Amino acid sequence: MKKIAVLLASVLLLAGCAPAGQVEISDAWVKSGEMSVEGGMTAVYGTITNNTDKEVTFVGGETAIAGLVEVHEMAMIDGEMKMQRIEGGLVIPAGESAVLEPGGNHLMLMQLTGDLMAGDMISVKFDFEGADSITLDSVMAKPAEGGDESYHETEMDMSN
Amino acid sequence: MVSRRGFLQGGAIGVAGSAIGATSGSLVANALNNTAAETATAKRQLPFYGKHQMGIETPIQAVTNLVAFDLKPETDRSSMLRWMTLLTDDIARLSRGEPVLADPAPELAIGPAGFSAYVGLGKSMFIKLGMESDIPAGFIDLPAFKMDQLEEKFSGGDVVIHVAADDPIALSHATRSLVRDSIPFASVRWTQSGFAHTPGVVKSGVTHRNLMGQIDGTANPQLNSDDFASVVWMDQGPEWAVGGTQMVFRRIAMQLDTWDQLGTKSKEEVIGRKLASGAPLTGTLETDAPDFAARLPNGLSVIPDFAHIRRAAPEAFKERIFRRPFSYEAGISESGSVDVGLLWCSYQANIEEQFLPIQRRLEEFDLLNKWTVPVGSATFFIPKGPEPDSVIAQALFS
């Protein structure tokens, strides 16, 4: 039974649609690169659409490959673009979408428990306030660089 | 009261006016036609999922890139599966005219534009991965032929991605996307670019007029026929290979400087076909079967013994292949010689039994060899097509 549910979830993911009135996540992917090794970090991107009639807040998530998962934003800090945790989460008004993308908001995966390689598929749970959590079972690891040049320098911010 | 002169003037103005009307009317019509043509070309979508990989049993597109790769030393069977996972997702999205995941330039996804891409595996890949026992029957590296002047930079490769589309921008964007996802696993060995006709210029099909002036790709099995299936698709062998095909790639340089010194009649005798229509010298239509027995009053064969179509004609029923050649142009020398030729692709269920005998006959005696020089060569096995939720060559690499 569980298998069927998983299969259905991946079919829905492939079709890029979810029933109206719910929160939907499309085109999710996770970055693989030099940093996505054991003990390192990476980020999950995609589009979260709030199809409900009330505000929801994207507050975090869970995945087996990361010890720490946080919702991050890129912000101008002391004249430099840096990553930082979004306190209280990312608010998505009713009927609107939030795009998680390199150089912008993202779901930060830290303290990786193993190497994440190009073409790997991982399962990621997205947690919300105001809506049920959503688990995607096949988030593809894409080789990608660029878009967030300050990636390396922000390690200090992350220990906060 | 209207004077005759005034009436005439008015008439003239009237005529001029309606002429302008007609002109702007046809401009509008042209603009509408253009919009319609762009839309139809941009929207042309080829099916990705199915028994066979896309881009083979389909009318030839306008532009193409072949990119061959050599595996990185650390790439193993499980990395191959990850690579194929990425490419499968990319090709599925590109075939719908959508950007790939993590596309740094999604605005370039302007529509499917007849996009196709398939992945092929070289014999060297099977050997590097210790998978010799998986090499399908008949899938061989070609022996050296005496007309060959092969260059390393156009030959071989562990893996090929063959991309085609009806728009150069769509092609470039798609190629870049697929290469980007390949670099963790392999380095680029060579890339070769070619073209056929722009959609709408000739009747859609797999033939195109090559740069020697001949209609190339005649006498192919018909697309979507049982005959095509028996010539091209493997119907036995391991599960991952059934529905696949074996590809021969040849980069064939044309010696146009000397070819152009021949008159039309000589050119036609070398080929055995009429240049204008593509009909055999014994017929009137491109589709007419050549009559190799027909003789001239002086006793000579109408289709000469040295003619390309006589040498290339199958001597046994199984000696048939499906050709889908693109043209290439790679520059013009200081003295004005054009570097042009064919990115000649053929597909058959068994290279050894179907392609090799034909090629042997051409090697032995084909006058066309004087003006055509193979400078690149490779063979690839094209695994069967993926079903939704599966990955290209999944069973092979799992």
Residue B207 has a pLDDT of: 81
What domains are defined for chain A? 2-144 (2.60.40.1890)
Q: Which residues of B touch A117 (CB under 8 A)?
A: 79, 82, 184
**Contact at CB, A140 and B85, closer than 8 angstroms:** yes
Q: When comparing pLDDT for B63 and B39, which is higher?
A: B63
Range B285-289 average pLDDT: 91
Q: Which residues of B touch A11 (CB under 8 A)?
A: 388-389
Q: Which of B374, B125, B142, B105 is nearest to B248 (CA)?
A: B142
Average pLDDT of the residues of chain B: 90
Q: Give the C-alpha distances (Å, rounded to integers) separating A75 from A86, A92, B306.
A: 10, 18, 74
Residue B37 has a pLDDT of: 59
Q: Which of B26-30, B101-105, B200-204 has the lowest mean pLDDT?
A: B26-30
Residue B359, classed as helix, strand or coil, is helix
| Residue B181 Cα, gap to closest chain A Cα (Å) | 6
Q: Is the pLDDT of residue A23 over 90?
A: yes
Residue B7 confidence class, pLDDT cut points 50, 70, 90: very low
Task: Show the beta-strand stretches assigned E in chain B.
Answer: 63-71, 116-121, 159-165, 186-195, 208-209, 215-216, 245-254, 322-323, 326-332, 338-348, 372-382
Give the pairing of strands A90-92 and A56-62.
antiparallel
**Contact at CB, B79 and A119, closer than 8 angstroms:** yes
B70, B166, B167, B216: the catalytic one is: B216
Residue B38 has a pLDDT of: 62
Q: Which residues pair with A136 in a beta bridge?
A: A124
CA atoms within 13 A on the CB side of B327: 21
Q: What ipTM is given for this predicted complex?
A: 0.81
**Contact at CB, B82 and A10, closer than 8 angstroms:** no
C-beta separation of B244 from B136 below 8 A: yes
Range B227-247 average pLDDT: 95
Active site residue B76: no
Q: Copy the structure tokens of residue A20.
A: 């109206």
Q: Is the pLDDT of residue B110 over 50?
A: yes
**Contact at CB, A143 and B104, closer than 8 angstroms:** no
Q: When comparing pLDDT for B276 and B3, which is higher?
A: B276
Q: Copy the structure tokens of residue A25.
A: 């996540």
How far apart are the C-alpha atoms of B184 and B71, rounded to whole Å? 10
How far apart are the C-alpha atoms of B336 and B290, rounded to whole Å? 36
Q: Which residues of A touch B82 (CB under 8 A)?
A: 117-120
Residue B74 buriedness (CB in 10 A; 0-12 / 13-18 / 19+): exposed
**Contact at CB, B81 and A119, closer than 8 angstroms:** yes
Q: Which residues of A touch B180 (CB under 8 A)?
A: 143
Residue A120, chain B, CB below 8 Å: the answer is: yes
Range B75-96 average pLDDT: 98
Ordered by start, the domain boundaries in chain B are 63-397
Residue B35 confidence class, pLDDT cut points 50, 70, 90: low
